[in-house]
Amino acid sequence: MNAVAAVEAALARIAERNPVLNAFTAVTAERARAKAEALDASDVALPLKGVPFAVKNLFDIAGLPTLSGSRINRDRPPATADATLIQRMEAAGAVLVGALNMGEYAYDFTGENVHDGPSRNPYDLTRMSGGSSGGSGSAVGGGLVPIALGSDTNGSIRVPSSFCGIFGLKPTFGRLSRAGSFPFVASLDHLGPFATNVRDLVLAYNAMQGTDPEDPFCTDRPAEPVDVSDAAGGLRVRVLDGYFRQGATAQALAAVDAVAVALGAIEPTALPEAARARAAAYTITATEGAALHLDRLRTRPADFDPAVRDRLIAGALVPAALVAKAQKFRRWFRDSTLRVFEDADILLAPCTPCPAPLLGQTTLDLDGETVPLRPNIGIYTQPISFIGLPVVAVPVWLPNEALPIGVQIVAAPWREDLALRAAAHLEQAGICRWKPCP
């Protein structure tokens, strides 16, 4: 299919399905058609030539204000340039078709948004897409675009991947440039791709790698393109037990176990002090997020989503000494976890404790205890991103289940290749797959 035909097909799907899914907040049809025509006029072979993609609306898109899911940012001047990762995707031939709905300022695990309405789960419109990259999950899961980009501070790529039944990559912290994206928590923010299959995930990841002087957090390591045609054999795979088995539904645990069997997992292992790692990530998030938004809290508090505003105000009141200790603990937890990787190549854990909850739901039942839903959806993702480990979220459809659920395939820092090889193996074996919506 040529680029114009691929883009027109995507625009037609968006026109038909987006009024229901509410995944897009802007469709860049004119720009996309011009780009597609230019691609078709060129003989240059490109890895993503003509592939439509869309981005969470915290990515700068030239000519649009960068909303980051907020009302307040609608008053910002339009971005003057595309984010680095959009530029790299388009340099590889992909075609941007729009901006995607998200939880306000990325402080969210639900995909709900008080200003734009919720993005909806493609398999059950009464359920959450997951957050904060909810529009990304909904757009890819719903088949509107084959690839989307999102951000993940505490789980915001892995949670929507789990709820919407797609593949997502949260790379190593610092691997992909954040330049030209609206921040949330500088210590923890990551950007990464979503896709309906591992091949597209890898193509997008490879296209976006590379150093970037515009992002001081971006690694100086050269690009390390991944080839998943290598077999996944020989990997030492272990299920994370202890903290990562507590509070999960039977479906979440069964999905992990199915992946473990398919990958030939050996004895389980534990990440010591994972609960404290989650607590430290929570503390750093609340306080750095509050610092980012302090002026907006002073001048426009009534224009925030109240749920976000109240968490940010609380974060502004946490003593700095506790935040510094959380950052010291981060170093300890990193060193401790690297020792676990001396005896493992891949660690497995649930993405979420349950499949997609109902929109509007405010509590979760974990191990018989009723807990607030918003913060607890990310209990298994937060300790992992806290120390920047690369993770591929893979979708599992268990027999007789109406909804998918995701599993985290976690590798040591800078070993995205191992997690992606394992994901490719699972896809080829039929254990993990995207299921097109009827």
Partner 1 sequence: MNDLEILIDAGTRLLAIPIDPAWKPAIKANLAVTLRLAASIDEFPLPDEADPAPVYRP
- Footprint of partner 1 (CB under 8 A): 187, 273, 275-276, 278-280, 282-283, 286, 294, 297-298, 301-302, 306-307, 309-311, 313-318, 322-332, 334, 375, 387
Q: How many CA atoms lie within 13 A of 13 on its CB side?
A: 21
Catalytic residue of the set 68, 70, 151, 156: 156
Q: Is the peptide bond before 132 cis (omega within 30 degrees of 0)?
A: yes
Two tokens at 196?
């309906």
- Which residue in the list 68, 70, 132, 385 is annotated as catalytic? 132
Return d(Cα 58, Cα 67) in angstroms, integer: 6
CA distance 60 to 65: 8
Give yes or no: 156 in active site.
Answer: yes
Token reading at 327: 């950052």
- Are 372 and 263 in contact by the 8 Å Cβ rule? The answer is no
Between 171 and 355, name the residue whose CB sits nearer to partner 1.
171
Integer Cα distance of 409 and 416 in angstroms: 10
Nearer to partner 1, 132 or 161 (CB): 132
Closer to partner 1 at the Cβ: 53 or 329? 329
CB of 186 to partner 1, least distance (A): 8
Catalytic residue among 35, 49, 56, 170: 56
To partner 1, the closest distance from the beta carbon of 179 in angstroms equals 17
For residue 100, the minimal CB distance to partner 1 (Å) is 27
In the complex, what is the shortest distance from the CB of residue 15 to partner 1, in angstroms, rounded to a whole number?
Answer: 39
**Complex with partner 1: residue 275 or 340, whichever CB lies closer:** 275
E strands, 66-112, are 95-100
For residue 394, report the phi and psi dihedrals to the nearest 5 degrees.
Answer: -120, 140
From CA 6, how far away is CA 350, in angstroms rounded? 34
Task: Give min distance, CB of 158 to partner 1, in A.
Answer: 20
Q: Is 132 known to be catalytic? A: yes
- Strand pairing report for 52-56 and 95-100: parallel
| Surface-to-core class of residue 367, CB atoms within 10 Å of its CB (0-12 exposed, 13-18 middle, 19+ buried) | exposed
- Residue closer to partner 1 by CB (options 79, 318) is 318
Nearer to partner 1, 74 or 331 (CB): 331
Minimum distance from residue 76 beta carbon to partner 1 (Å): 21
70 is catalytic: no
Q: Which is nearer to partner 1, 24 or 173 (CB)?
A: 173
DSSP, collapsed to helix, strand or coil, labels residue 144 as: coil
Q: Are strands 363-366 and 167-170 parallel, antiparallel or unpaired?
A: unpaired
Count of CB atoms within 10 A of residue 310's CB?
Answer: 12
Cα–Cα distance for residue pair 335/283, rounded to 1 Å: 20
Measured from the CB of residue 371, what is the shortest distance to partner 1 in angstroms?
A: 10
The burial class, CB within 10 Å (0-12 / 13-18 / 19+), for 297 is middle
Calculate the alpha carbon distances from 419 to 36, 172, 246, 346 in Å.
Answer: 32, 11, 24, 7
Residues known to be catalytic: 56, 132, 156
